[in-house]
Structure 1
Amino acid sequence: MNTSSSAADAILSRRSQSLSGIVQRELERLILSGEIAAGERLNEQRLAAKLGVSRGPIREATRALESAGLVTVVANQGVFVRQLDRDEAAELYDMRAVVFGFACARLAEKAAPDQVAVLKGLIAEMDAAIGVPDPSRYYRLNLQFHDTILAFAGHKRAVQIYDSLVKEAHLCRQRSLQPIASMQESNEEHRRMVAAIAAGNAVEARRTAEAHHFGGKRRWQATLDKEATRTADAAVA
């Protein structure tokens, strides 16, 4: 057995995996930011040129993105950014409610005063974003608020599952938070969650966390209904 050759192969394999990981993260960023739109085909050659890599890492990255639920492979046609239908997106809200409710209940049992202070600070920043108003900033802070609760809860598998669910639902969620009234309602729900966590009330923390996600689902569905009405009215006109 040629030990040097095996070691070299292992190093090359790690380099390849590292490169495909970098490419995966960049493609994920392009998809989640909307730079590559839902339903759009991923052009391997164009992406390889854009990222300065060969097509191999692009293929490896798209396989990982398919496993993550962000792209769909269509036989003889290519790889497309996944488009969620209404039922699929609604299911994601339901599942996020379960996982986040668990995380909030867990955090309520052990939250430290400095952790509660961090969460209240994020709520205050979201209030400021509403006052401007700055929906994009509110959305970023909203994501940070949820990520912070998951991190404070200290449950790695819950973080992994929630992160995966959020990525799948990312594009449809942002639209539902744009109206000022929706942002205000959402942040009031945040306030109730943190109050329950600060009080050490795990049952109430779970309840308010689940209610928050069901509220988000309702706001998102209302946005879709309004868009459908506007489209129908425009067609009639």
Structure 2
Amino acid sequence: MDTNKSTAALAFLQSSSLPMLVQEEIERLIMTGELAVGSRINESELALRFNTSRGPIREALRALEEAGLVRNEKNRGVFVREIAFEEADEIYELREALEEIIGRRVTRAIAPDALDRLKAMLEPMRSAAQAQDLEQYAQLNLQFHDILLDTAGSQKLIETYKRLIKELSLFRMRALDGGGGLRVSVDEHREIVEAIASGDPERAGRVMREHVAGSRARMHRALGRNDAAQRAPLSPSSTKEA
């Protein structure tokens, strides 16, 4: 009887975790560009690829729709979502405010080991930038900001921030490539670490906000929208452009 219960519990765990694993893998395909923006997602191909039925695929796609990464068009299917420039610009504006909050919270809460982890990431980031390895740099950048988020210690802040980051992923890759971000991004991250290490929450918040403002300006340049950058100030606290 106990064996039957254990087997049933294991089967339930496997079936309930499968959609989450599938979701994570589809999300990875979107983030790396293997599933291109605007492309239709073929449920049958994904089911064959992951060696599963279409049920977990559909459940994963529903979760990704709620996360803002895909859209479901009636009678047409599910597509990787495209974000208009205007929406991306609004998300950058929200990120500026969130990063300032994160910078202040992290500076008040960070422990020496977390600060050491941030410092240790700077050299790999510089190497990836010098090698023009956009995908590697993007992964390191996400890890850097994950350390900051974990240190900030707010689950709601983490959830909100990560959703915005996912929606912006493709725009941010273009900004790193076409907007000149790789030339300056490592130095901006070094400034963030130095500001946090200074123990001044206001300085750290300001530097992190300026970092996102610089990313926003690079996105404008990469998409040929310098006119938009001029009409909308990058940050109320700084006019610095990286």
TM over 0.5: yes
Q: 2:216 matched to which residue of 1?
A: 217
Q: Is residue 109–residue 151 contact of structure 2 (8 Å, CA) maintained in 1?
A: no
TM norm structure 2: 0.83
The aligned runs of 1:30-45 (5 Å cut-off) are: 30-45=29-44
Q: 2:77 matched to which residue of 1?
A: 78
**165-174 or 113-122, which deviates more:** 113-122
Q: Distance in 1 between matches of 2:43 and 2:57?
A: 6
Equivalent position amino acid for 1:192 in 2: E
Q: Is residue 110–residue 200 contact of structure 1 (8 Å, CA) maintained in 2?
A: no
SS of the aligned residue for 1:39 comes to coil
Distance 1:76 1:135, change over 3 A: closer
In structure 2, list runs of 5 or more residues that go unmatched. 226-242
Q: 2:196 matched to which residue of 1?
A: 197
SS of the aligned residue for 1:79 comes to strand
Q: 2:115 matched to which residue of 1?
A: 116
| Per-residue deviation, 1:78 | 0.8
Distance 1:44 1:181, change over 3 A: closer
| Per-residue deviation, 1:169 | 1.0
Question: Size of the alignment, in residue pairs?
Answer: 222
Q: 2:156 matched to which residue of 1?
A: 157
Q: Is residue 99–residue 208 contact of structure 2 (8 Å, CA) maintained in 1?
A: yes
Q: Deviations over 1:6-63 (max 9, x none)?
A: 9999876554321211211111111111111111111111211121111111111111
> Percent same amino acid among aligned pairs?
41
Q: Distance in 2 between matches of 1:172 and 1:16?
A: 35
Q: Distance in 1 between matches of 2:163 and 2:126?
A: 27
| Per-residue deviation, 1:139 | 2.1
Q: Deviations over 1:93-148 (max 9, x none)?
A: 12222222211111111323332222122122222333334333222222211111
Q: Distance in 1 between matches of 2:181 and 2:47?
A: 40
TM norm structure 1: 0.84
Q: Deviations over 1:192-217 (max 9, x none)?
A: 22222111111111111111111101
Q: Distance in 2 between matches of 1:182 and 1:23?
A: 32
